[in-house]
Amino acid sequence: MQTMDIDKGKYVNKPRKRDDVGVTFSGWRKFNSSWYFLSTEKKSWTESRQDCLGRGAHLVIINSRAEQEFIHQWVGCLNIYLGFHDTNTEGVWEWINDGQSGQSSAPGTTYWRDGEPNNTNQDEDCAHLSKKESDPLKSWNDIPCTTKIHWVCEKMASTL
């Protein structure tokens, strides 16, 4: 199984194990009541969303400060897509839920970098967690949905 080596910022083969966060399972990692999958390739936001749907999951939806801090630490040096966008109405950010029960489409607390979202060039409609900032509570940025970056899928623990 390939997993992300957080310290080295690259993928390595590691056996499944129990760690301080939870149990890993075939590339999935558990935190609280969800399982998370970190991509090993880069795709657009739409392609990333489709990949998650194919896994019976959705792009990660941040529901708490603890979840934000976990994702920020876990992805290491990677920028990753979030399931957060304003493609329907500019400036109105919403979470996708792709039919997952217990997931809110309301934005709630957000963790934008200072000055974000800014919609540079009028085409930044998808949110990503940016590793330019070391502060996990100020790490979101808006980017064009066609940008190819990594992503994290999330599904409820009861569905894996």
Beta bridge partners of 128: 81, 141
* Largest separation between any pair of C-alpha atoms in the chain: 45
Show the tokens assigned to 18.
Answer: 């129990």
**Is pLDDT of 14 > 90?**
no
Q: Containing domain of residue 85, as a range?
A: 2-159
**Is pLDDT of 21 > 60?**
no
Q: What pTM was estimated for this model as a whole?
A: 0.79
Angle CA(113)–CA(141)–CA(59) in degrees, nearest 5? 125
The percentage of the chain sitting over the pLDDT mark of 70, rounded to a whole number, equals 76
CB 147 within 8 A of CB 127: no
* pLDDT tens digits, one per residue of 30-49: 999 999 999 999 999 999 99
Chain-centre distance for alpha carbon 48: 10
Domain count, the chain: 1
Distance CA 60, CA 67 (A): 10
Whole-number pLDDT of residue 67: 95
Residues 6+ apart with CB under 8 A from 99: none
Beta bridge partners of 152: 38
Whole-number pLDDT of residue 147: 98
Whole-number pLDDT of residue 16: 42
CATH of the domain at 47: 3.10.100.10
